[in-house]
Amino acid sequence: MAQRGFTVKKSWDNPVEHAMPADAWVPAEVRIGTVTVRPATVLAPMAGVTDTVFRRFIRHASLFSTSHYAAGALCPDSETGEIKAPGIDSAITNLQSGCGLLMTEFTSADGLSRMRESKRRRYLTFYEDEHPIAAQLFGSNPDTLAEAARIVQDTGFDTVDLNLGCPAKRVVGCNGGSGLLRDLPRIQEIFQTVRSVVTIPFTVKFRLGWNDSQIVCVELAKIAEGEGLNAVALHARTREQGYTGQARWEWIAAIKQAVSIPVIGNGDIRTPEDAAAMIAKTGCDAVMIGRAAPGNPWIFRQIAQYTATGAYDRPTVEDRYRMIRGYFKMLLEEAEACQDQPRDARLGETSGKMKQFASWFTHGVPGGAKLRAAIYQQKSGAAVLDQVDAFFTHPMETGATVDEIPQSALFNGFDPALACD
């Protein structure tokens, strides 16, 4: 049984350590309607996390160049930049080598249809370097969801996604998220209504069912395919589980056998090995990653590296410094850039977001607890950045890398209470 309130757990329950399969890779690409996702990896929508700054941060952190290739691994063509993954016919390029599809924070269709245009910008703003990008909606009224989906399409998003997975009480209480899993006829009506008003690819993310006695995921996937949706994503837990226990990947495999549209697998992917193991065990077309991304923003690059070369890099503590500093600078620059916008479209003070991110990102860094304590005392984003610089500019004597740190240490600070991976 999930914890009361269904907040997201900070760590995994006895996570299974997967070895890298000898003959399975995350596909180099997957086609979702008219949109090519290259490689076949997706950043899961997480409330309070996947704003435009974090999405762009992940996208840039995901890119890798020839200098990152392991010795003896395959190299890109000198003219085209294309690389062939071991055993995979499709090619990926350096410019599209990390997270294949970004997704927004999940957004209320009711709120989106009512709010002023200026406020919508906070929820639907994205930059050209975020393509392809999907907007995820939740709600229970077919007409309202259709209107919100039309707004998403008119704003320029590449795809629109329906959230049927969030277990949060405040969402389920409105019959949204995983609350709708108890009403398949209503879901089918939503599919029909939204599909009738948008031409961009339409996808859905859902769970196994409300509880173990109400597993509906295979039937739901068939309904989605029948109503013209372009892909389905399964978080392989029930609503009752919340984020506890093991994700049951066998249901991802069952859906893959039941439908012909692309199937995206989600749940318990913490490492490139996990991603490849999910592909090997389920045959799914793509993988979606949520909770692991804030603790290890390199995971998409690592998956892409393995797909392309058969090996992947592990970041050093110095890499962590560069990464956290880069993200904090992006936050400050974004806040400065939006000061001329209407008040309800501006970003708030960045120090809170920095503190949230630092708690995820500095676990495993020697002396990280001292840095977190210093950061939490600061009142402004600039002061937080000064503390980061002061901490990391000291000589790094350990040279510790992420793979030398227990996986549990990397995620103990992650507290995405509203995340929906």
pLDDT in tens, the chain (421 residues): 444 455 556 567 777 888 888 788 899 899 999 999 988 999 999 877 788 888 888 887 776 553 433 333 333 343 444 434 443 334 444 344 578 999 998 899 998 888 777 667 667 888 888 899 999 999 999 999 999 999 999 999 999 999 999 888 888 888 889 899 999 999 999 999 999 999 999 999 999 999 999 999 999 999 999 999 999 999 999 999 888 889 999 999 999 999 999 999 999 999 999 999 999 999 999 999 998 888 788 899 899 888 777 888 888 877 878 888 888 888 888 777 766 655 544 455 577 777 777 777 776 677 778 888 888 888 888 888 888 888 887 644 333 343 433 333 333 333 333 344 4
Contact between 240 and 301 under an 8 Å Cβ cutoff? The reply is: no
**Is 166 one of the annotated active-site residues of the chain?**
yes
Query: Tokens representing 120?
Result: 């919508």
Contact between 28 and 38 under an 8 Å Cβ cutoff? The reply is: yes
Query: Tokens representing 286?
Result: 């793509």
Q: Up-side HSE of residue 328: CA atoms within 13 Å toward CB?
A: 25
Query: Tokens representing 318?
Result: 């110095």
Catalytic residue among 75, 99, 166, 284: 166
Cα 75 to its chain centre, rounded Å, is 28
| Beta-bridge partner residues of 164 | 206
Query: Tokens representing 414?
Result: 């992650």
| Residue at 353: amino acid letter | K
SS3 state at 81 = coil
Which of 371, 290, 410, 308 is closest to 47 using CA atoms?
Answer: 290
Which of 304, 234, 307 is closest to 267 using CA atoms?
Answer: 234
Q: How many helices (H) and strands (E) does the chain have?
A: 16, 13
Q: What are phi and psi of 161, to 5 degrees?
A: -125, 145
The b-or-e profile of 282-318 (16+ CB within 10 A means b, else e) is: bebbbbbbbbbbbbbbbbbbbbbbbbbbbbbbebbbe
Which of 296, 332, 350, 392 is closest to 61 using CA atoms?
Answer: 296
Q: Up-side HSE of residue 376: CA atoms within 13 Å toward CB?
A: 9
